[in-house]
A and B are shown apart, each in its own frame.
Chain A
């Protein structure tokens, strides 16, 4: 049987032809080019960018000087880190314990409540943003981190992710821990969390990226210059009459870099987490 398998496999090597590789390589070039162009543009003078250069230039330092001269770059970077970071911590706390709770202590009522909560996934943000804006401004939370994170700390998607992944958590371990006298919350913190690193890593990736990328919500509530986030900074830079492409693309690079680092560091977990959530 295994001999047949090996034969089949060598046969399929030959069938992966030049056409397939060409298609794949074209797809890769298309997917990388806009980012490549952005990095090149960030190092060049605006006139050189317009003339279509694809060679790294020597204008990076000048672009940087112009960028921090015309915007509050590091303030916006710090804000974005603060918003996305605090959101990640709170979101993971609230949703992991909820996902665990929905699975480990599940009964008819909790299952029903969970299906009901899933409906919230279908609510478009546009349909809640005006009342949310009114709530946030009523409680004086405009321009604040609290205002930023409150609407998205708890999401059905994340609860579902943790609930699905708790399913494979062995009940014998929980029973054994109970006999050892560990409290329920103790079991969650000391036994469950350490075994679920992959899920937590996936959740960190998803939540931090969402927080960092969010544009509509901060555009509504971050009304002071000191509180703007990176996407808002870029959007503000490009709305001027004359665009300095070098400076603009450098700001884009600053906004993308943290995401790329997280993406490369967490790539494996991201795929794993998504897979785990839909099994």
Chain B
């Protein structure tokens, strides 16, 4: 009897030790968790609530779905959605293919000056977003470097206003984005490539596979998790573009290159503030980000 009791006591004291540790753990994670709830989840739900209200400044009233029907007729907003998708569809694939190609070259053990090449390719991703936007704006300005060169070589007879035409302004943003983010993605692919066992390549080589075959049958499938990660990050980032739209093209000409975040900012802090409508628009970005990430995961799963 007493033996049993002793055993129970032992179990009990062990439990309390474990409980104690578990509580300590809760204390460790508490500040970070509270901050995320207060600074991400709570404002997110507050924005949802605001999206059903309308009014100027603090005078807000219930509006039902008014904001959501209004946005469908909002030409600037529709333009901004199209712009974000234009950037996304053109820039992300080009950048990811470039990044994978450059990463596999950098990963080749026989490459000379590997460290130097790596540093120089990573350089753009150390550049602050506003800084590179301003550099590219100056390079492509009507009196900027590229116009000067094109004029000097006689390719253009008159300076071309790259930032003054809707299509070329958007293309300049895409070029700038590719410049800024390719190196960042190389970091991820290099990490992925370094986790691939070199002996797999040896084996494939012995079977006489070509470089292309090796890439598509070995490298690409093994990099799949990394491709998924980088595409989600890039999609997420592209849908939230702000700094480039503001500082490279100023959304122009005539809102032709404006992004959703830029327009939401204008609605909230530049024009007469309409927080309800702006919040409704911000939920479009939220849903798009979530939806595209979901599709992405499904698509990559199916290819297995």
Q: Is the CB of B130 within 8 A of A274?
A: no
A122 within 8 A of partner (CB): yes
Q: Is the CB of A154 within 8 A of B247?
A: no
**Which residue of B117, B128, B239 has the most chain A CB atoms within 10 A of its CB atom?**
B128
Q: Is the CB of A105 within 8 A of B105?
A: no
B109 within 8 A of partner (CB): yes
User: In the complex, what residues of B have CB within 8 A of residue A124's CB?
Assistant: 236, 239-240, 261, 282, 285-286, 289
CA distance A128 to B40 in the complex (A): 7
B61 within 8 A of partner (CB): no
Q: Is the CB of B29 within 8 A of A101?
A: yes
In this complex, how many residues of chain A approach chain B with their Cβ under 8 Å: the count is 96
Q: Is the CB of B236 within 8 A of A267?
A: no
User: In the complex, what residues of A have CB within 8 A of residue B144's CB?
Assistant: 50
Q: Is the CB of A105 within 8 A of B31?
A: no
B contacts with A: majority SS: helix
User: In the complex, what residues of A have CB within 8 A of residue B250's CB?
Assistant: 239
A28 within 8 A of partner (CB): yes
Could you say which interface size class chain B belongs to? 35 or more
Query: If the complex has contacts A101-B25, A216-B265, A274-B187, are A252 and B236 also in contact, measured as CB distance less than 8 A?
Result: no
Interface residues of B in 189-218 (CB under 8 A from A): 190-191, 194-195, 202, 205
A contacts with B: majority SS: helix
User: In the complex, what residues of A have CB within 8 A of residue B135's CB?
Assistant: 34-35, 37-38, 249, 252
CA distance A252 to B84 in the complex (A): 26
Q: Is the CB of A105 within 8 A of B21?
A: yes
Q: A81-102: contact bitstring with B at CB < 8 Å (1 yes, 0 no)? A: 0000000000000110110111
User: In the complex, what residues of B have CB within 8 A of residue A101's CB?
Assistant: 24-29
Q: A42-62: contact bitstring with B at CB < 8 Å (1 yes, 0 no)? A: 000000011110000000000
A153 within 8 A of partner (CB): yes
> What's the minimum C-beta distance from A248 to chain B, rounded to whole angstroms?
7
A31 within 8 A of partner (CB): yes
Q: Is the CB of A110 within 8 A of B111?
A: no
User: In the complex, what residues of B have CB within 8 A of residue A130's CB?
Assistant: 43, 47, 50, 268, 275, 278-279, 282
